[in-house]
A and B are shown apart, each in its own frame.
Chain A
């Protein structure tokens, strides 16, 4: 019944590795997002997809690549992980328009060692 689900919840990996985080929403929303929350709790948008189409790509290193196979899924692949990538990554979704705000996933805590 989870509305926006992310996997894995925790991810510990070594520098230089490649990893993926998956996100799925069952709300029928058209738009999905990836946000990064740093150690100071600051939240910054990374990507936004509307019905599988990329509409926002903020200043994010090319090592980060989102993929949306359908409008219910938005995955995040990260190449050549660096220490500075350690953060909590949140997936979110919203219907068309902004009257209802976002629904957030539970987050993925990524630790790069």
Chain B
């Protein structure tokens, strides 16, 4: 069974600091997605990474994909309180369209 692990599971950081969330997966895939979920809300798409070496940036968030290492990172630069949320990575295997989600990283940015 495809496994997707994120670390850390919980992250508390001060405003202005930088940090990286890691997403490891157990199968070959070149398609990885990052989502954000606010408490009690739905999932919002952040990034779609579709090839080895893909890097995408939006505001203070930057995501990258290394398919050989089966690793994606979500880097947070100069965190602000509005980034507090749970972040999920998801992977699709080469066969099939279903997403396998990571365990989620609950991020709290402290003013």
Q: A41-B86, A41-B104, A101-B48 are in contact. Are A48 and B41 (CB under 8 A)?
A: no
Min CB gap B88→A, angstroms:
7
Q: Number of A interface residues, CB 8 Å?
A: 23
> In the docked arrangement, what's the CA distance between A48 and B86, Å?
24
User: Which positions 33-90 of chain B face chain A at CB distance < 8 Å?
Assistant: 33, 37, 41-45, 48, 50, 86, 88, 90
- The one of B41, B44, B88, B97 in contact with A43, judged by C-beta atoms closer than 8 angstroms, is B88
B42, A105: Cβ atoms under 8 Å?
yes
B103 at the A/B interface (Cβ < 8 Å)? yes
B25 at the A/B interface (Cβ < 8 Å)? no
B100, A98: Cβ atoms under 8 Å?
no
- The one of B45, B90, B98, B103 in contact with A42, judged by C-beta atoms closer than 8 angstroms, is B103
A98, B31: Cβ atoms under 8 Å?
yes
B98, A33: Cβ atoms under 8 Å?
yes
With a CB–CB cut-off of 8 A, which chain A residues contact B43? 90, 102, 104
Closest to B47 in A: A101
B19 at the A/B interface (Cβ < 8 Å)? no
Can you list 28 pairs linking A and B with CB atoms under 8 Å apart?
A33-B98, A35-B101, A41-B37, A41-B106, A42-B101, A42-B104, A43-B88, A43-B101, A45-B99, A45-B100, A48-B98, A56-B96, A90-B42, A94-B97, A97-B97, A98-B31, A98-B97, A99-B48, A101-B33, A101-B90, A102-B33, A102-B43, A102-B45, A103-B45, A104-B42, A104-B44, A105-B42, A106-B41
User: Which residues does B use to contact A, with CB under 8 Å?
Assistant: 31, 33, 37, 41-45, 48, 50, 86, 88, 90, 92, 96-101, 103-104, 106
User: Which residues does A use to contact B, with CB under 8 Å?
Assistant: 31, 33, 35, 41-45, 48, 56, 90, 94, 97-107
